[in-house]
Every structure is written in C-alpha cells, then in structure tokens.
Chains A and B, each alone.
Chain A
Amino acid sequence: MVRAVNAAEIAPTTYGAEISANRLMVRTGKRMAVNGLDLSLGKGVHGLLGPNGAGKTTMMRALATVLRPAGGELMLLGQRIDSRTDMRQVRRDIGYLPQEFGFYPRFTVREFVEYMAWLKEMPARDVPGAVQRVVERVGLADRADDRMKTLSGGMLRRAGIAQAIVNDPQILLLDEPTVGLDPEQRLAFRALLRDVGRDTCVLVSTHLVEDVVAACTDVLLVDQGQMVFQGAPSDLEVWGAEGTGDSPAERGYSALLQRHRAQAGGAR
C-alpha cells in the first residue's frame, strides 16, 4: 500500500537536533536522578550506557514527556517542553518503549499494536496497513493473531518495539530493549536499529556495552545523573588501555566511569 505524503512531512526541518537538553534536572521521589544533563542528539542511533541507578530510565521518561523536568531546559523537535507546550503534537512524533511495559494478556499482537496506534492518534484508515508493516518488520507476522500471553519474553519485547515504531516516530526511545532477546534476535534487532536510525533519532538505553558498539553511531555514558562521555564507539575503545573488562569497549567504559567518580570525589 502506498502511503500518501502530506505537507507536514516534506516541510523543511527548522531545528538543529531532535533532542536537546540544557542543564536538565529530573526528580524521582526525593532524589535528583538526572542532575544537570547537557545533551544534543540528531538523527542516528545513540546508545545510552551507564551503571544501574545512573538515571537512564528517569532520563528516558523525561524525554518521553511522562516526567516533568524539575529544572533546566528540554527541546524536542524544536519545541520547548514546558507547562504551555501542546504535548499532543510533540507526542505524535515520539515512540517510546518503557523498560517494564505491561499489556493486556488477552489482546493479540495485532490488537495491542492497533490499540497503541489509536492512542497515538493515527488516522484510522492508516492503522491496519501500518500495523501489518511493523509486525512484519519485527518478525512477528506469523504470531500477529496470537494472544500476548502466549508469547515468549523476546517476542513480547519485539511486540513492544512494534508499538513504538508504528507511528513512524522522529524520536524513538527504547529503554533496555534487548533484555530477553536471544543472540539471533539481538542481531536482527541491531539490523532493525540501523535501518530505523537512518532517518530517525533513536536513543537506546542498555547496560550491554557490546550492543552499543555493534549498532550505535554514537555512545552516551551517564553516571549519577550526569553525562560522563559522548562520542563514537571507537572513541570508547581508545580509553580501553586503563580499565577492566573483556573487550576494549568494556575496558573503556569502566575506565571512564572510574575517572568520573574520582573527579566527582575530588571535587567534593
């Protein structure tokens, strides 16, 4: 089915980066989980690395606009996100897969993705075709009419990815999408990421360094709510001489974290 292209889609881009944050602060409970984060992300696949509790999930939620920043400035697709923003407009161009996503077990994969497409306010006539396309894209075409509760963990993740990309988002936020995928599915997922990342700003959080090296054009390393490092995966490997780990990238990861913590400790 050929999709009609509307005027909004061919309008020139009027912003430099899909996601840009300036001294962003986000609170979870009493803790400032994101604490003065500067960020500028354009098209491509950006890998978000960091230890558990580094603020990755909180940052993802803030970028998905479900958590309101406590301070700083956040711009998505050239729109400032504050109390006056028309969230509906911005959210139509965002795809989001939370770390723990729930679903209605009696829904089939197709019903689940169709329901999400409706929540994303897609035009009703585009929904069946778009749903079929994304279900094929994540490799669930043969299970499309099976109930969600019959799927394995890896298949559920893929259904989650399908709902995230069903609206052809400009910003795609995936929180720990490779959890539960077996090695073969992980390879397919990386190929999908590279494919989507050609014309979309994709931010993937993970704690697996090898995912980032294999699929990402850009690495972000966060710790204690702050950016430690941003650069190409090969730059991460440059740091590998000092740290501990099984691969150059893992050594670079641990070396950068240690250096940041030493600096933070020294400043205190």
Chain B
Amino acid sequence: MTPEHATQELLERYVEGDGRLAADVVWALEAHLETCRGCRDRIGVAVRGRAGGADALLAQVRLRLDDEPAPASGRWRAARWAPPTLAPWLVMTVTVLFIAVALDVLAGSHRPPHLLLLAPVTPLASVAAAWSQGRDPAFELTAATPRAGLELMLRRTLVVLAVVMPVLTVGGLVAGASPVRWLVPCLAFTASTLALGSVFGLTRAALGLGLVWTAAVVAPTLVTRELPVAFEPASTPVWAAAVVVGVAVLMTRRRALTELPSDQ
C-alpha cells in the first residue's frame, strides 16, 4: 500500500467543516487519518491554529463540567451583617472614644468624664450610616429586596452596638464612667434615632438628637462641671420609657423602612 497523504488544503477545508467537500472524499480522508500518524499530527496543528478553535471550545465544556462554581469569599457573607460602607464610621466612632478617654486620663480630676457625656450618643453616626440613602451606594437596590426592612436594619444596628459597647465599657473603666450610668441612655438614644429616622430619615434624626444632647447636656456640663441630672439613677425610668416608646414607634412604622423616602 503506497501511502498518499492528504494535501494541506484538503486538511484545512476538513477542519473548517467545509460543506462542499464530497462525501466520498471526507470518507477517504477519515479512513486515512485512522492509519496515518503524520496526517493526524498535521490536522492537530491545523485545529490548534484556528482562532477560537478547539481550545476555546474545550474551556467552555470544562466550565460546564465543573458545575461547582468558585466558592464565595467572606466579603459578601460579612455584608449580610453590615455593608462595607459602615466600617469607616465605626472606625471614626472608636477613634473619638479613644480621644475622649485620653482626655479624661490626662485631665485626671476633671469630673464628669468626657466619655460619659459622649457615651449615650456614640452609636448615632454609625446607626445613621447603616441604613441611609446618601451613605450606602446600594441603598435603592437593597430597599427593593424582600429582606429590606426592620430585620435588616436591626441586624446592622446590632453590629454597631456590638462594636461600640465593648469599647465604651473598657474606656469607661479607665475613665471612671460606669455602664450603670450610660447603658440605658445609650439604648434610648439608639431606639429613638431609629424611630424618628423612620419618619424623618435616619441622618436627620441622628443629627437632631445629637444636637439636642449637645445643647441640653454636654455644653452646660462643660461649664458647670457637675454630673448632669440625666445620669442620676432617678433618671433611669425616663430613659427606659424612651426605649419602650422608640421600639413601639419603630414597630408601627416598619413598613416605611422598606421604601425610599418620598421626598426625593
């Protein structure tokens, strides 16, 4: 048997899938390829040479076969608790607390401690940032999902408290501000911010409450240097009532948390 090898042109037309090749030619070529290693090599070169050829196809097929998609990273799992945009606000809050403690330690005899004055309003900035149109770029996308609303907002608030509370407690031990004095006021401010926020928007609510606190308690205390009545044990029932009212308002307004503010 004298081997007559396939011409380069014939091989290339075969690789291209040229429909005009006669059936008997294709048949003869395929029979030849089965026995001729040299021609198989040449057809291999021709196949690999084609743009978007077998390699791309194989890659696609492999993609389908590896049906197990790449495992998710931790980033979006963390976002289930707090959006990444919350982090800078928490860092800022903790920094402010450190500065307050440093001031109190340096001042020594200064009473009442700065930390105590700040404590009730420390979560406000982060709470406002956690669910706000201006500071969360994905706000509109998030607000339209089934999970939007009270549950998601409380999750994020919980994260804020979980970061702020331990820092406050440790700082309070150093600066002499016991949690007994600030814990309930702090919760009352958080609940009131969420409740007022469901009516006026969280940023406005946080800003308003922060200003009221500064004007009514912080500024006078810095002048008089006496423990404000707000921190006396007698005030605790008032703060507790504020927590209850805040939570109640929030429950009745929960539907508003699933919507965009109507004024934009």
Contacts and interface: CB of A to CB of B under 8 A. Distances in A.
Given A66-B260, A88-B146, A120-B147, A107 B63 contact: no
Interface residues of A, number: 45
B179 interface: no
Nearest to B148: A119
B140 A121 contact: no
A65 B71 CA distance: 32
Contacts of B259: 65-68
Contacts of A121: 145-147
Interface stretch (A7-15, A96-104, A201-209, A240-248): A96-104
SS class, residues of chain B in contact with chain A: loop
B141 A116 contact: yes
Contact of A102 (B69, B76, B80, B140): B140
Contacts, number: 113
Given A66-B143, A107-B75, A87 B258 contact: yes
B146 A141 contact: no
Given A27-B262, A67-B262, A129-B69, A104 B147 contact: no
Nearest to B79: A115
Contacts of A103: 137-138, 141
Contacts of A111: 72-73, 75-76
Contacts of A115: 76, 79-80
B34 to A, nearest CB: 37
Contacts of A83: 255
Nearest to B66: A132
A258 interface: no
A71 interface: no
Given A104-B138, A131-B69, A28 B262 contact: yes
23 contacts: A27-B262, A66-B144, A87-B258, A89-B146, A91-B144, A98-B144, A100-B140, A101-B138, A102-B136, A102-B140, A103-B137, A104-B79, A104-B137, A107-B75, A107-B79, A110-B69, A116-B141, A119-B145, A119-B147, A128-B68, A128-B71, A128-B72, A141-B63
